C-alpha cells in the first residue's frame, strides 16, 4: 500500500537507482504516471516527457479493454479476448485508429515542444500501476518502434500475469509489488486522487 503517487514515485526511483538502471529519457504515461515519472527522472538525472496510449473497448462494454493503441498507432491486442468476443478485423482497425487519435490528442495537450528523438536512447516508461498491461505494452512498442535501444518499464505495483506479459515486451521490468489479489490499481494507494491537467504541466517543467 502506497501513501500516494508521490510516495510510490520515490520508492520506485530508489529501486531503479539501486538496480543501476540508466536512462537517457523517462517517459511517463499521463496523467497518473506523471508524479512518479518526475521522481524517477529527477533521481536518474534524465529529462521527462510523456508517452500516451488509449485502450480499445469491447463492443457495448467500453470498460473492457481488448487492447490499446499508442499515439503512433503501435497496437497491442489481447488475442484471447478478441477471439472470444469474435471481433472483426474492421472493428479492431477502426477502434485502433480512434484510440491512436485520442492518444495523439493527449500528447498534443501536454507537450509544449517537439516530441523527443528516441533513436538509440535508453528509455524508462513509468506508470502508476499495471492492471491489464495493455496501455503499457502499447507504449513499450511505440518506444521500440521509434528506435529506443533499451526500454525499461517501471511501475510500483502490477498484476502478476500482466507483469509477465510486459516482461516479454520490454528489455526489463521493474515492479515493487505483485500481489496475487490485485484488484484495481487504485486499491493499492491510500490516496489515488486524479492528477489535474495543471499538475501534469507542472511535472513536465524542466
pTM strictly above 0.85: yes
Q: What CATH number is attached to the domain comprising 189?
A: 3.40.50.2020
Residues in Cβ contact with 163 at an 8 Å cutoff, skipping those fewer than 6 apart:
130, 133, 173, 175, 178
* Residues 99, 128 share a domain: no
Distance spanning both ends of the chain, measured CA to CA:
29
- For residues 50 and 107, the answer to whether their CB atoms sit within 8 Å is yes
The count of structural domains within the chain is 2
pLDDT at 206 over 80: no
Average pLDDT over residues 13-37: 97
Please check whether residue 53 is in contact with residue 71, taking contact to mean a CB–CB distance below 8 angstroms.
yes
Model confidence at 19: pLDDT above 90: yes
> Does residue 122 share a domain with residue 48?
yes
Instruction: Judge if 74 and 164 occupy the same domain.
Output: no
Residue 183, pLDDT > 90, answer no
Is there a single domain that holds both residue 104 and residue 12?
no
Tens of pLDDT, residue by residue over 38-58, are 999 999 999 999 999 999 999
- pLDDT band with cut points at 50, 70 and 90 for residue 5: very high
* Residue 113 binned pLDDT confidence (cut-offs 50, 70, 90): confident
Amino acid at each position: 500500500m502506497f501513501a500516494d503517487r508521490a510516495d510510490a514515485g520515490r520508492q520506485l526511483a530508489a529501486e531503479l537507482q539501486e538496480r543501476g538502471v540508466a536512462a537517457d529519457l523517462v517517459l511517463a504515461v499521463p496523467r497518473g504516471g506523471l508524479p512518479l515519472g518526475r521522481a524517477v527522472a529527477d533521481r536518474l538525472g534524465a529529462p521527462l516527457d510523456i508517452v500516451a496510449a488509449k485502450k480499445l473497448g469491447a463492443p457495448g462494454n467500453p470498460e473492457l479493454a481488448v487492447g490499446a493503441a499508442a499515439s503512433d498507432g503501435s497496437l497491442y491486442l489481447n488475442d484471447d479476448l478478441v477471439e472470444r468476443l469474435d471481433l472483426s478485423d474492421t472493428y479492431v482497425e477502426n477502434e485502433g485508429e480512434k484510440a491512436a487519435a485520442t492518444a495523439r490528442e493527449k500528447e498534443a495537450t501536454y507537450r509544449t515542444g517537439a516530441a523527443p528523438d528516441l533513436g538509440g536512447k535508453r528509455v524508462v516508461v513509468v506508470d502508476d500501476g499495471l492492471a491489464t498491461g495493455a496501455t503499457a505494452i502499447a507504449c513499450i512498442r511505440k518506444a521500440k518502434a521509434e528506435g529506443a535501444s533499451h526500454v525499461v518499464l517501471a511501475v510500483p505495483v502490477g498484476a502478476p500475469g500482466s507483469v509477465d506479459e510486459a516482461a516479454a515486451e520490454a528489455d526489463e521490468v521493474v515492479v515493487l509489488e505483485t500481489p496475487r489479489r490485485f484488484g484495481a490499481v487504485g486499491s493499492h494507494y491510500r490516496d489515488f486522487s486524479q492528477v489535474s491537467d495543471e499538475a501534469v504541466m507542472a511535472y513536465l517543467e524542466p
